[in-house]
């Protein structure tokens, strides 16, 4: 392999890694904001710890929705 090919792949890898980390941070922040601002009376983390399956499913769907929005917005 040529060094330019390897270098280009490494650059693409690090750019994608930065996008993934940014999406992860934005997703967690968005989930916490929704948890605190929209659902003030419900603490999803505590409900999941108690074994509330409905809260776990809802939180999972919410994270999936945030991931879809972030994925489409980061692609351009």
Strands annotated E in 1-76: none
Which sequence spans correspond to the domains of the chain? 3-75
Asked if 63 and 76 count as a contact pair (C-beta separation under 8 A), the reply is: no
- Determine the Cα angle at 57 with ends 70 and 30, to 5°: 30
Render pLDDT for 6-39 as a digit per residue (tens, 0 to 9): 999 999 889 888 888 888 888 888 878 877 888 8
pTM across the whole model: 0.61
Distance CA 76, CA 73 (A): 6
Phi, psi of 40 (to 5 degrees): -70, -35
Mean pLDDT of 39-61: 89
Count Cβ atoms within 10 A of the Cβ of residue 6 and give its class: 0-12 exposed, 13-18 middle, 19 or more buried. exposed
């Amino acid at each position: 392999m040529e060094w330019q090919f390897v270098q280009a792949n490494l650059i693409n890898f690090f750019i994608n890694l930065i996008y993934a980390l940014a999406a992860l941070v934005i997703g967690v922040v968005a989930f916490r904001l929704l948890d605190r601002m929209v659902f003030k009376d419900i603490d999803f983390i505590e409900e999941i710890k108690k074994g509330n399956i409905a809260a776990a499913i809802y939180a999972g769907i919410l994270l999936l929705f945030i991931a879809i929005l972030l994925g489409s917005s980061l692609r351009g």
